[in-house]
Amino acid sequence: MAGVQVMPAVGAVATVDVRAAEGSCRAAVQRRGRGVSSLFAGDWRRRPRRAACMARVRGRRQQQGLAVVCNLGGTYDEGFEDIHVQLINVFTYKAVKTVLTQLYEMNPPSYRWLYNFVAVNKPTDGKVFLRALGKEKQELAERVMITRLHLYSKWIKKCDHAMMYERISDENLALMRERLMETVIWPTDDTNTEKIG
């Protein structure tokens, strides 16, 4: 049973239980004449009712309206295990590309076999891919694993954390600047400008 927190504008936090219903579900979060607005989805009253779940509010309501807070983003305390898995998957992908390049130059029949295997079994999930490859050709699976570990050790030596922080910060700033430029309405040259004075 998934839970979504509902935070009153003033006061305590209530919990919403989210359950899938049969076929056509409807959102059951309502408040005597006043609606619930989501911080992510905007004002729900303006959209046609296309609810994917039923929600019941448990807890004491305050006098102010409620706002649904989605807990998909996680918290700082959660950890970074998902990032670790993604890094492993990226290094598996790069190792497969490296092994394919090596096999293309040194062993064309193995290259063709691995190329066809990669075309059928995408290396996007490293663990699943290496399991399947190990069942078919253990020596190639071991080669990919060793290459993956070597690429990681190379990357960790060259990784500049301060540079990565700067790149992320600069990209965030550039994206915010782009968005600002999109939203600002610039005056045109043909507008009437009055002389003051």
Q: What is the pLDDT of residues 135-189, one digit of tens each?
A: 999 999 999 999 999 999 999 999 888 999 999 999 999 999 999 988 888 777 7
Whether 66 and 6 have beta carbons less than 8 Å apart is answered as yes
- CA distances to 25, 33, 140, 143 from 137, in Å: 48, 65, 6, 10
Q: Residue 122 sits in a domain of what CATH number?
A: 1.10.1200.210
pLDDT category at 38 given cuts 50, 70, 90 is: very low
Alpha helices in 107-159 (DSSP H): 108-120, 126-136, 138-158
Q: Of 26 and 161, which is predicted with more confidence?
A: 161
Q: What is the pLDDT confidence band of residue 11, given thresholds at 50, 70 and 90?
A: very low
pLDDT band at 3 (very low <50, low <70, confident <90, very high): very low
Assess if residue 56 is contained within a domain: no
pLDDT at 107: 95
Give the separation between CA 119 and CA 111, rounded to whole angstroms: 12
At 81 the pLDDT is 86
* pLDDT value of residue 29: 38
Q: What is the CA radius of gyration of the chain?
A: 27
How many beta carbons lie within 10 A of that of residue 126, not counting itself? 22
* pLDDT tens, position by position, 79-123: 888 889 999 999 999 999 999 999 999 999 999 999 999 999 999
What is the model's pLDDT at position 139? 95
Domain count along the chain: 1
Within-domain flag for 153: yes
DSSP strand pairing (66-69 vs 37-38) = parallel
Burial code of 46-71, b = ≥16 C-beta within 10 A, e = fewer? Answer: eeeeeeebbbebeeeeeeeebebeee
Question: Could you tell me if residue 150 is inside a domain?
Answer: yes
Residue 46 within a domain: no
Q: Is 188 within the bounds of a domain?
A: no
What pLDDT is stored for residue 184 in this prediction? 86
Phi and psi, residue 35, nearest 5°: -95, 175
What does the alpha-carbon distance between residue 188 and residue 174 come to, in Å, rounded to a whole number? 25
Domain hosting 134: range is 83-183
